[in-house]
Amino acid sequence: MNATDSLREMRKQLHRIPELGFQEFKTQARLLEYIQKLPQAYLEIKTWKTGIFVKVAGSEPQKTIAYRADIDGLPIEEATTYDFRSEHPGKMHACGHDLHMTIALGILTHFANNQPKNTLLFIFQPAEEGPGGAKPMLESEEIKTWWPDEIMALHIAPEHPVGTIATKEGLLFANTSELFIDLKGKGGHAAYPHTANDMVVAASHLVTQMQTIVSRNMDPLDSGVVTIGVIKGGTKQNIIAENARIEGTIRTLSIESMKKIKSRIEALATGIEQGFECKVSIDYGSNYCQVYNEKTRVRDFMKFTEEQSNVTLVECKEAMTGEDFGYFLERIPGFMFWLGVGSPYGLHDARLEPDDRAIDVAVQHVIQYITSMD
């Protein structure tokens, strides 16, 4: 089995065992098994929770270059045509983290066999999809010991064909926040609505009002998203619901807009409390800061990419996608780029089937780029 086939097989193994944030025990074990079989002369391995750090000692190090891959899956029932579908019911690698890990392993394999000039740090990060692994990982003693001078990462892009590298200077991914709202009123019999406070009705009014925040409270030249993905309330058709729950997400291109949207949600919730004589509580869950590419380093990467004949560089627009890699970029200069994987189904779709030819494209491109930095 050649190197490319070996990586594709590894991707299949990882795809079969998706695990949620900070529960990636099988994934961590499989990654460690692979890494420990590599030549160890230049390697040091440390674990952190369900994540892994691997340092590759440079021969003449002037700096430490970090490469990050996220390792968790999503709570989605897989609907692909693969013969290597998820073995974990209700869980799937629907965001491409199986490819992210495999690509990182491919790059690591090369440098474990071919010592780089600069020291490299490979970061296998848990819980990107939630509750957020980047921020606590940055506070770990493990990374403080091996603190990198710069960092890079990629994310698969189903909308781009294989062979495409897409990125830009500055803002790439949005600020994001989870949104959980609980409403508590008074239950009762459906035949006696005047004796109860109906939280299905209250929740419905709140959802409708929140849809006016972006259209009526934000500058039309700014961008924001308030999406409600879940409404839960009630237990039976003839019982007035005492409780209801709303779950959603907020996305903005600026920190100021995020604060404004949250302020409006809180004001609307206060109005619902008064209008429906109920109690409303808000939890913003995981909050991810923007992914902001450092100008000098992403320009260097884009220039290098333009000069390669086997890939096509696309200067893309910013996206409302959320990524906790932004916390790394807050503290370590670096960048993220999109990797084309040519799928008709998008991220977080149960039918997502990335073209695995993109694995070799990414591995070779990043190896060449890191080597060019020596």
pLDDT, tens digit, for every residue of 248-288? 999 999 999 999 999 999 999 999 999 999 999 999 998 99
CATH, residue 162: 3.40.630.10
Distance in angstroms (rounded) separating the CA atoms of residues 110 and 39? 10
CA nearest to 258, candidates 163, 176, 170, 142: 176
pLDDT, tens digit, for every residue of 321-364? 999 999 999 999 999 999 999 999 999 999 999 999 999 999 99
Distance in angstroms (rounded) separating the CA atoms of residues 82 and 78? 10
Which pair of tokens denotes residue 149?
């001078």
Neighbours of 348 (CB within 10 A): 14
Catalytic residue ranges: 70, 129
CA nearest to 163, candidates 364, 365, 358, 366: 358
Residue percentage of the chain with pLDDT more than 90: 97
Which pair of tokens denotes residue 316?
């893309």
Q: Which amino acid is at 153?
A: A
* Residue where one domain finishes, among candidates 242, 269, 287: 287
Residue 1 pLDDT grade (very low, low, confident, very high; cuts 50, 70, 90) = low
Q: Please check whether residues 13 and 139 belong to one and the same domain.
A: yes
Q: Please check whether residues 160 and 187 belong to one and the same domain.
A: no
Give mean pLDDT, residues 160-173: 98
Distance in angstroms (rounded) separating the CA atoms of residues 309 and 291? 28
Which pair of tokens denotes residue 349?
């779709």
Q: Please check whether residues 47 and 75 belong to one and the same domain.
A: yes
Mean pLDDT of the chain: 97
Number of domains composing the chain: 2
Contact between residue 315 and residue 351 where contact means Cβ atoms under 8 Å apart: no
Q: Please check whether residues 148 and 57 belong to one and the same domain.
A: yes
Q: Please check whether residues 215 and 294 belong to one and the same domain.
A: no
Statement: residue 87 has pLDDT above 90: yes
Q: Please check whether residues 38 and 70 belong to one and the same domain.
A: yes
φ, ψ dihedrals at 132, nearest 5°: 115, 105
Burial bucket for residue 23 (CB in 10 Å: 0-12, 13-18, 19+): middle
CATH, residue 202: 3.30.70.360
Q: Please check whether residues 108 and 134 belong to one and the same domain.
A: yes
CA nearest to 289, candidates 315, 257, 322: 322
Q: Please check whether residues 216 and 258 belong to one and the same domain.
A: yes
Alpha helices, DSSP H only, in 251-347? 255-276, 295-306, 325-331
The reported pLDDT for the residue numbered 340 is 98
Q: Domain range for residue 221?
A: 178-287
pTM score over 0.85: yes
